[in-house]
Amino acid sequence: MSSDIESTFITAAAADPDGISTAASVGNNAALVIGGALASGGAVTFDQPRNVTILSAGNDSSKSFTVVGTDETGAAVTESITGANADTAVGTQHFATLASITAVGNPAGNVSAGSGTSIAAPMFQGRMRLKGMYAVNTATAGTITFRETNATGGIRMQFNTCAAANSTEYPDVPDDGVLFKSGGYVLYTQTTLSSLTVFYA
């Protein structure tokens, strides 16, 4: 008898602060050049859906940056990120792909853009039952959240990781599994989880 259990391996690269766009001056209401290490052909496809960061050399707290791409479900999405004062502004929207970033206003100095550490990884984009998992920890503890439908959908389960690099965990899942009626997504901070294998049917 064959098993109907499938698995998804989830891991994410470290954040890259200028992986989308390297530091350069940006004109008034102009687009950043999407040409960092993560870019290909003027666009970015992330290893896992994640947030975007924007580093301003000057005071851009009265400016904003419009980020356009697709989210963890593949839907078109736009986020407006308020600039920072000689610091990094951190977005909250998860992007699977990124098409453009446009300054709204005239940035005070050089601007760069990169990938953040907030991850929204798909387990399976359809009806599923989570049957089990195997987690490999980092040296930093964190909370892993399992959501239904998308990155802001209902929470179906959570567990905390241990602050012990390369240690492993096998969180218990009820015999019938945890039902996700319309897709399941794992939300976590990249620095708190080395990898996660999920088993589902």
> Do 38 and 115 contact (CB within 8 A), yes or no?
yes
User: At 174, is the pLDDT very low, low, confident or very high (cuts 50, 70, 90)?
Assistant: confident
SS3 state of residue 91: coil
Choose among 61, 92, 57: nearest CA to 77: 92
What number is the average pLDDT over the span 176-191?
97
What number is the average pLDDT over the span 68-75?
98
Q: What is the pLDDT of residue 175?
A: 86
pLDDT above 90 for 2:
no
Q: What is the pLDDT of residue 1?
A: 52
What number is the average pLDDT over the span 169-185?
94
Per residue in 78-133, pLDDT tens? 999 999 999 999 999 999 999 999 999 999 999 999 999 999 999 999 999 999 99
pLDDT above 70 for 201:
yes
Burial degree of 177 (CB within 10 A; 0-12, 13-18, 19+): middle
User: At 14, is the pLDDT very low, low, confident or very high (cuts 50, 70, 90)?
Assistant: very high
Phi-psi region of 149 (alpha: psi -120 to 50; beta: other; left: phi over 0): left
The dihedral through the CA atoms of 177, 178, 182, 186 has a sign that is negative
Q: Is the pTM of the predicted complex or chain greater than 0.85?
A: yes
What number is the average pLDDT over the span 7-12?
98
What number is the average pLDDT over the span 185-199?
98
Per residue in 122-146, pLDDT tens? 999 999 999 999 999 999 999 999 9
